Amino acid sequence: MSRPAKGIPEPRRRHLGLAAAAGSDTARGTRHGDGRDAFALAWADAVVGTSYVSMSRTEVEEHLRGLTDRLAEALFTEPFTADAARQVGAAMVGAHFTGTETLNRTIALVADELPLRLGLDRSTPWRLSALQGALAAGYAEALRQRTLDEQEAISQAVFVARDQAEQALRVSEARFRAVFAEAAIGMGIADMDGNILDANASLLDMFGYSLEELTRRNVRDFMHAEDAASVWRLYDELVSGQRDHFRVEKRFERSDGEVIWTHLTASLIRDDEGRPTYQVAMIEDVTDRHLLQDRLRYQALHDPLTGLPNRALFLERLAEAFDSAAEEDRIGLCYLDLDGFKVINDSLGHDVGDQLLVAVGQRLDACVSAPGRLVARIGGDEFIILMERSSSTRDVVAIADHVLAALEAPIRVREHELSISASIGLVERSIVGTTPADVMRDADITLYWAKADGKAKWALFDPERNAREVARFTLSTTMPAAIERGEFYLDYQPLVRLCDGQVVGAEALVRWHHPEFGLLAPDRFIGLAEETGQIVPLGRWVLRQACHQARLWQDRFGSRAPFISVNLAVRQSRDPGLVADVAKILADTGVEATRLQLELTESAIMGTADEPLDALRALSAMGVRIAIDDFGTGYSNLAYLRHLPVHELKIAGSFVEGLRASASDGSHVVDARIVGTLVSLAHALGLGVTAEGVETADQARRLDDIGCDSGQGWYYARPGPPERIDHILSDVR
Ligand code: C2E
Ligand code: CA
Ligand code: CA
């Protein structure tokens, strides 16, 4: 019947057996004690690993040894009772020997090993059976009880946990209420229909309502007429559940009608199923900050002196006008600059100037009160009127007239009665195809035109005039580089002695071979060069080039070489460096001064200033010939010529034109007499006479008859390259 329990290594059992045999000496006697140790050991071997117990192997053996004693007592106690076995079963459960195999193995072991180990005879099998039954019953009952206990413990734990959670909720709710109540930020709760349910003290304070008043109202009652459209679009998205929160800057009206500015954060609260249930608003009063910002913005966008919008605001509004304009919209600008403001400012002081500007600003403001119109001060004495959605050019012209009239009455500043006027540049056009920068630039150009036209005038932008000026401007800015690049060249036109047709001189005529515009005649750029001052370097270049050519002719033809005649612009004749320039060029090119003739118009010579005359006298003294170009088209004060250093008169082509033989009305006879008188007067003054614009042989003959010295014109030769003069001179020889 005895069999070693499985899984326990042999030496260990022996060792444990030896140890038990040596150490156990209980009150129940050595004989019984040895057997009980062995049984406890076998029991331990059988059940170990069948249950998860928190005991070490030694502790298991000790525990089972105790239970073995109690089983033994039950077996031997008279009268027999199996109660102790029931307690042993319960004790096993108590020690967590609850694995499914544990009970089975224990029952088997009690039957197989216990009688043997305790020295029982085979006459007591019924006691064993009773013992087994009681043990199993005690075990089962204990196990059931333990399960119940565990269930109870779990439900208890759940209960405790739930209780704790609820408490935590209550704590957080309390915390929330405290925050809600105490918060400096205004908070309000509403249902999804916008009915206000609750609001904290800060919000009530901010809005000036009692909680009762507020909860009678709906969120939508707080729409403000000037709310940005986006505010209520965001709100609709919130209450329809499309978004969970939004944050905007919004104004509200307090119960007392005062407007407050706020930062509003609105959020949605959803229930466990995710359905939107409440909306919460957090509202921060930022009115002070807003007012400050408004103030700063106002200061940044207004002129402190006149209080009018400044350039920045004007440009902002102009850009907005373009952004918001419809296709068919037009726009108008009235750009104003006071005439002679600087004089007033400089002579009467800045204080008076400032007061004057303030008064002008007020008058302008009064002129344009209509909506969509803005008066701005955009510079020292410059104002601008913006007319959004102007109806026609007539509109801006009317405004300009109105403004000029408004400024007519003198302005009183302290003891001064100040008369002031303005020049106005007007631009009015369809918004399509133009930009804010375009209209500003064009208004600027037009104001310049108005200024040039004289005081108290308006000018209207003219695209054609502008195109011409743009071209002129382009030419003037590229001129210096064009000289460098050698884009200019000279044509020469012979001056012919009438009595024998001999070429005695050649006029140098400048041309510009422009890379973009092609060949440009002098009419296109000489006037411009005079305005910009470019004529001085250009004229110097012409003179040098012409003298260089004269030198070539001088070398080639000697005494028969033609003198060179060079045009001198008014501006050049007044250039202080003129005499030195001429002297240097003559020296550099090695041309005799007597071979150079300078052509000046009457106005250049008859001007009031003395300096040009001094220069001409100096040049004349050097031996340079001075001719009056286009004689007869200017002052025509022949008597005055006596006092001038002049050697030659070039009679303008218009006189010569009348000498055509074809004229049947006899007018040529009159013209011939005029020219005749002119020639004799000139000769009386010791001057030579050259006729310009000689186109026919007839004219040439008549001029010769009249006594004219020389002729120039297509009849002899058109202006051309210098080689043509070479040919003529060579042929004649
Ligand atoms: P201008 O000094 O009176 O020069 C004569 C102009 O009359 C030239 O025009 C010439 O081509 C033109 N002409 C010559 N013969 C006839 C003719 O038989 N009939 C007609 N109808 N016209 C004739 P261009 O070359 O166009 O020069 C125009 C003006 O430009 C010149 O008038 C002169 O005032 C100015 N200019 C030309 N070159 C220079 C220069 O180098 N410096 C300066 N300051 N002005 C120049
Ligand atoms: Ca000329
Ligand atoms: Ca001329």
21 or 263, which is more confident: 263
In the 8-state DSSP scheme, what is residue 309?
A: B
Check pLDDT > 90 for residue 535: yes
The 10s digit of each residue's pLDDT in 51-60 is: 777 788 888 8
Report the nearest atom of ligand 1 relative to the CA of 652: 3
pLDDT bin (cut points 50, 70, 90) of residue 685 is confident
pLDDT bin (cut points 50, 70, 90) of residue 142 is confident
Check pLDDT > 80 for residue 585: yes
Average pLDDT, stretch 591-605?
A: 91
Check pLDDT > 90 for residue 722: yes
Using the mean position of ligand 1's atoms as its centre, give its distance from the Cα of residue 521 in Å. Answer: 9
Of 143-147, 254-258, 434-438, 491-495, the range with the highest mean pLDDT is 491-495
Conformation bin of residue 636: beta by default, left when phi > 0, alpha when psi is -120 to 50: left
Least confident of 20-24, 230-234, 403-407: 20-24
User: Which residue, 140, 65, 158, 63, is CA-closest to 98?
Assistant: 140
Check pLDDT > 80 for residue 302: yes
CB of 105 closer than 8 Å to CB of 47: yes
In this structure, the strands spanning 411-413 and 596-601 are unpaired
Q: Whose CA is nearest to atom 14 of ligand 1?
A: 713
Q: Which residues in 238-307 belong to E strands, given as ranges? A: 245-253, 259-270, 276-285
The 10s digit of each residue's pLDDT in 220-244 is: 999 888 888 888 999 999 999 899 8
Q: Whose CA is nearest to atom 38 of ligand 1?
A: 509
Q: Whose CA is nearest to atom 37 of ligand 1?
A: 509
Question: What pLDDT does residue 523 have?
Answer: 92
Of 103-112, 155-164, 239-248, the range with the highest mean pLDDT is 239-248
Average pLDDT, stretch 79-83?
A: 79
Check pLDDT > 90 for residue 655: no
- Whose atoms come closest to the Cα of 522: which ligand? 1
Average pLDDT, stretch 477-482?
A: 89
Using the mean position of ligand 1's atoms as its centre, give its distance from the Cα of residue 140 in Å. Answer: 138
Distance between CA atoms of residues 178 and 448, nearest Å? 71
Backbone φ and ψ for 268, nearest 5 degrees, come out as: -100, 140
Q: Whose CA is nearest to atom 25 of ligand 1?
A: 509
Question: What pLDDT does residue 522 have?
Answer: 95
**% of the chain with per-residue pLDDT over 70:** 91
Conformation bin of residue 211: beta by default, left when phi > 0, alpha when psi is -120 to 50: alpha
pLDDT bin (cut points 50, 70, 90) of residue 577 is very high
User: Which residue, 718, 651, 652, is CA-closest to 682?
Assistant: 651
62 or 179, which is more confident: 62
Using the mean position of ligand 3's atoms as its centre, give its distance from the Cα of residue 587 in Å. Answer: 27
Using the mean position of ligand 2's atoms as its centre, give its distance from the Cα of residue 121 in Å. Answer: 164
Helix (H, G, I), strand (E, B) or coil at 599: strand
Least confident of 131-135, 657-661, 688-692: 657-661
Distance between CA atoms of residues 227 and 262, nearest Å? 12
- Whose atoms come closest to the Cα of 712: which ligand? 1
Question: What pLDDT does residue 53 have?
Answer: 75
CATH class of the structural domain 475-732:
alpha beta
Report the nearest atom of ligand 1 relative to the CA of 572: 44
pTM for the model: 0.50
pLDDT bin (cut points 50, 70, 90) of residue 120 is confident
User: Which residue, 404, 405, 411, 409, is CA-closest to 426?
Assistant: 404
Torsion of CA 96, 97, 103, 107, to 10 degrees: -120
Mutate to test the pocket of ligand 1, among 483, 526, 530, 710 (most ligand atoms within 8 A of CB): 526
- Whose atoms come closest to the Cα of 715: which ligand? 1
Question: What pLDDT does residue 277 have?
Answer: 87
First to last CA, the chain: 166
Using the mean position of ligand 1's atoms as its centre, give its distance from the Cα of residue 559 in Å. Answer: 27
pLDDT bin (cut points 50, 70, 90) of residue 21 is very low
Question: What pLDDT does residue 634 have?
Answer: 67
Using the mean position of ligand 3's atoms as its centre, give its distance from the Cα of residue 649 in Å. Answer: 10
Check pLDDT > 80 for residue 436: yes
Q: Whose CA is nearest to atom 34 of ligand 1?
A: 567
Helix (H) or strand (E) holding 688: strand 688-691
Question: What pLDDT does residue 431 have?
Answer: 92
CATH class of the structural domain 183-291:
alpha beta
Q: Whose CA is nearest to atom 44 of ligand 1?
A: 569
What are the Cα distances from residue 294, in Å, to 207, 250, 465?
22, 14, 44
Using the mean position of ligand 2's atoms as its centre, give its distance from the Cα of residue 504 in Å. Answer: 15
- Whose atoms come closest to the Cα of 631: which ligand? 3
Check pLDDT > 90 for residue 209: yes
Question: What pLDDT does residue 572 have?
Answer: 92
424 or 368, which is more confident: 424
Report the nearest atom of ligand 1 relative to the CA of 535: 44
Q: Whose CA is nearest to atom 7 of ligand 1?
A: 693
Give the pair of three-digit tokens for residue 3.
């069999």
Report the nearest atom of ligand 1 relative to the CA of 546: 41
* Residue whose pair of structure tokens reads 């118009």 in the numeric block: 601
Using the mean position of ligand 2's atoms as its centre, give its distance from the Cα of residue 313 in Å. Answer: 55
Residues linked to residue 334 through DSSP beta bridges, in sequence order: 385, 426
Using the mean position of ligand 1's atoms as its centre, give its distance from the Cα of residue 509 in Å. Answer: 6
Q: Whose CA is nearest to atom 4 of ligand 1?
A: 509
Using the mean position of ligand 1's atoms as its centre, give its distance from the Cα of residue 629 in Å. Answer: 10
Question: Residue 433: what residue type?
Answer: G
User: Which residue, 500, 539, 525, is CA-closest to 709?
Assistant: 500
Question: What pLDDT does residue 639 have?
Answer: 67
What single string gives the DSSP state of each residue in 460-495?
A: E--HHHHHHHHHHHHHHHHHHHHHHHT-EEEEEEEE
255 or 669, which is more confident: 255
Question: What pLDDT does residue 291 have?
Answer: 82
Fold match, 302-461 / 475-732: no
Question: What pLDDT does residue 609 have?
Answer: 61
- Whose atoms come closest to the Cα of 546: which ligand? 1
Q: Whose CA is nearest to atom 43 of ligand 1?
A: 567
203 contacts: CB under 8 Å, gap ≥ 6: 186, 187, 188, 214, 283
What are the Cα distances from residue 187, in Å, to 48, 77, 205, 587?
67, 82, 11, 96
pLDDT bin (cut points 50, 70, 90) of residue 320 is very high
Q: Angle 57-76/30-47 helices, nearest 10 degrees?
A: 130
- Whose atoms come closest to the Cα of 493: which ligand? 1
Q: Whose CA is nearest to atom 3 of ligand 1?
A: 630
What are the Cα distances from residue 519, in Å, to 325, 374, 485?
45, 48, 15
Mutate to test the pocket of ligand 1, among 509, 574, 694 (most ligand atoms within 8 A of CB): 509
Least confident of 389-393, 426-430, 550-554: 389-393
Q: Whose CA is nearest to atom 17 of ligand 1?
A: 693
Check pLDDT > 80 for residue 196: yes
Give the pair of three-digit tokens for residue 262.
């706020």
Question: What pLDDT does residue 663 have?
Answer: 53
What single string gives the DSSP state of each residue in 607-652?
A: -S-SHHHHHHHHHHHHT-EEEEEEETSS---HHHHTTS---EEEE-
Using the mean position of ligand 2's atoms as its centre, give its distance from the Cα of residue 507 in Å. Answer: 7
Question: What pLDDT does residue 666 have?
Answer: 64
Report the nearest atom of ligand 1 relative to the CA of 719: 11
Question: What pLDDT does residue 137 have?
Answer: 82
Least confident of 237-246, 360-369, 371-380, 666-675: 666-675
pLDDT bin (cut points 50, 70, 90) of residue 656 is confident
Average pLDDT over all residues of the chain: 86
Report the nearest atom of ligand 1 relative to the CA of 712: 15
CB of 427 closer than 8 Å to CB of 321: no
Give the pair of three-digit tokens for residue 48.
């170990």
CATH 3.30.70.270 fits 302-461, yes or no: yes
Distance between CA atoms of residues 206 and 721, nearest Å? 92
Where are the domains positioned within the chain?
10-147, 183-291, 302-461, 475-732
Using the mean position of ligand 2's atoms as its centre, give its distance from the Cα of residue 512 in Å. Answer: 17
Using the mean position of ligand 3's atoms as its centre, give its distance from the Cα of residue 523 in Å. Answer: 12
Report the nearest atom of ligand 1 relative to the CA of 694: 18
Pocket of ligand 1 (CB under 6 A): 493, 509-510, 521-523, 526, 539, 542, 567, 569, 599, 629-630, 653, 693-695, 713-714, 719
User: Which residue, 617, 496, 489, is CA-closest to 548?
Assistant: 489
Q: Whose CA is nearest to atom 33 of ligand 1?
A: 567
CB of 663 closer than 8 Å to CB of 625: no
